[in-house]
Amino acid sequence: MSFKTEIERRRTFGIISHPDAGKTTLTEKLLLFGGAIQEAGAVKNNKIKKGATSDFMEIERQRGISVATSVLAFLYKDKKINILDTPGHKDFAEDTFRTLTAVDSVIVVIDVAKGVEEQTEKLVEVCRMRNIPMIVFINKLDREGKDAFDLLDEVEQKLGLSVSPLSFPIGMGYDFKGIYNIYEKNINLFSGDSKKNIEETIAFDDIDSPELENIIGTKAAADLRDNIELVKGVYPDFDKESYLAAKQQPVFFGSALNNFGVRELLDCFIDIAPSPRAKAAEERTVQANETALTGFVFKIHANMDPKHRDRLAFIKIVSGTFERNKPYLHVRQGKKFKFSSPNAFFAEKKEIVDISYPGDIVGLHDTGNFKIGDTLTEGEILNYKGIPSFSPEHFRYINNADPLKSKQLYKGIDQLMDEGVAQLFTLEMNGRKVIGTVGALQFEVIQYRLEHEYGAKCTYENFPVYKACWVQAKDKNSEEFKEFKRVKQKFLAMDKRKQLVFLADSQFSLQMTQQKYPNVTLHFTSEFE
């Protein structure tokens, strides 16, 4: 196959949702359709390598995203599909935010009963910031839930999206009869049997035909006609260009658990979703069809098995082909590296690949050379943007509990921060180290890993901070900026990249600072222009 054809047949996307909206179930059913697994549940059962379970803390078991299920690839209708699995739990949200830098499109899963939840809002906000095309899948239709129109309104209002329903439910909960597929013009009847791989589908061009009553009954037929008329009157027709420009979001209804509505979602997805897109680097925008390799590290996964200190760096290929044993430039270090065993992920198996194309995710064994955001090229100096750190919400001083092991402690902290587990801030006033995380669970993970992987012990002290904000001054020599630094001295710190950070102790103090120093801008992510 030609290079151009290989790019066009790839679809790399992430599935995002609030915990328990049905993300893992949907992932499994997509793999089932792709023939990558034989039965649903295989992904879940493989989440933790059996041999390493005894080495894990209980919280690690709950997190349990083993390398094999972080990236899932399968073939469907001659398309190569790469799914990036994202943690739903908010304590690991930073991992998800970074994973979103490596996807070309996203499927947002929403629970029909709970509607739009807090974590979904945050994740969609990140997608909107990056103009990532989104498809919305409203899940669990076989349960009692909110009215379909109320849900569509909620998606528009809470998530700020412009929706275009491409399927619509016939009844809901106990009255759930099936789905009318507006995109393919057919009716999909619901049997409630999750073991059936494919539900009965009836081609149906004209819903005004009296035949509809014979299929779904008089009341359901009347309701469906009214609903479809309303959909056509209220929502814009689907426009592929608007979807690709992230200005319109198609919506599908279904029940992933019952394997219902998933095929329609997948068929439409491979039809409309973008193949690998261009990506902006600091120097220029790189097109996917360029022949020279470029790629960036968006995730580093250190395995928890103490017997094998293996780290895998996940690289998203942006352009060109990645070939085994070919030397590539590590831009930050200015050195060339060869990789003898690059991994690709196919369903639940890891395998060594000789060649990978734009859109693919490659796992490289790493001995500590990579940091998140690092770029690989064939020689060009490029740095990809858009892998920000987000403002943490929990802060603690970190203290060394074993003075004889201070070297191990600092090495451990340094490597864990490279992995993106948390963020390290060094206070300007006294040089004390503060760790900031998105979720409180992370502190336990860090403590456990420092002890078991680096032989270092740490303790924490509370550090009352409301938000960390990255500081940008219009003029660093201005009197206003000097006064800001003098007055706020004990709240200022440096992050790992030597950027100045203001640690506000309350929302009030943050607002007052913004009012008092109008020429000092405070950012909630570490990337700004």
End-to-end CA gap in the chain? 40
Judge whether 334 is annotated as a binding position. Answer: no
Residue 496 C-alpha from the chain's centroid: 23
CA pair distance 188, 141, nearest whole angstrom: 13
Q: Confirm or deny that 233 is annotated as ligand binding.
A: no
86 is in an annotated binding site: yes
Answer yes or no: is 88 a known binding residue. Answer: yes
Angle at 342 between CA 379 and CA 410, to 5 degrees: 80
Q: Is 29 annotated to bind ligand?
A: no
Comparing C-alpha atoms, which of 100, 131, 7, 2 is closest to residue 390?
100
Q: Is 21 annotated as a binding residue?
A: yes
Taken in order 485, 490, 492, 493, the sign of the CA dihedral is positive
Long-range contact list for 192-200, CB < 8 A, 24+ apart? 192/142, 192/258, 193/258, 194/40, 194/257, 194/258, 194/259, 196/259, 197/32, 197/33, 197/259, 198/263, 199/259, 199/260
- Report whether 17 belongs to an annotated binding site: yes
User: Known binder of ligand: residue 414?
Assistant: no
The contacts of residue 218 (CB under 8 Å, 6+ apart) are none
Which residues, 6 or more positions from 299, have their beta carbon under 8 angstroms from its beta carbon? 70, 95, 98, 99, 102, 313, 314, 372, 420
Of 277, 528, 243, 294, the closest CA to residue 389 belongs to 528
Q: Is the dihedral of CA 201, 206, 207, 211 positive or negative?
A: negative
**Token pair belonging to 471:** 């500081």
Would the annotation count 418 as a binding residue?
A: no
Tell me: is residue 403 an annotated ligand-binding position: no
Determine if residue 210 is labeled as part of a ligand binding site: no
Task: Write the DSSP symbol of residue 529.
Answer: -
Q: Taking a C-beta distance cutoff of 8 angstroms, is the pair 220, 170 a contact? A: yes
Kindly state the DSSP code that residue 103 receives in the 8-state scheme.
-
> Is 20 among the annotated ligand-binding positions?
yes
- Both tokens of residue 49? 């390598």
Cα–Cα nearest to 318, from 352, 350, 356, 346: 356
Find out whether 439 is annotated in a ligand binding site.
no
Q: What is the CA radius of gyration of the chain?
A: 25
Spatial contact of 309 and 41, defined as CB atoms under 8 Å apart: no
Helices (H), 136-285: 148-159, 211-216, 218-234, 240-244, 262-272
Q: Is 226 annotated as a binding residue?
A: no
Tally the C-alpha atoms within 13 A of residue 481's C-alpha that lie toward its C-beta.
13
Q: Is 46 annotated as a binding residue?
A: no
Instruction: Name the DSSP class of 255.
Output: B
Report the C-alpha gap between 122 and 134 in whole angstroms: 14
Q: Report d(CA 461, CA 426) in Å as an integer.
A: 15
Residues 470 and 528 sit within 8 Å (Cβ to Cβ): yes
Other CB atoms within a 10 A radius of the CB of residue 461 amount to 10
* Numbered residues of the known binding site for GTP: 17-24, 85-89, 139-142
In the annotated binding site, the residues are 17-24, 85-89, 139-142
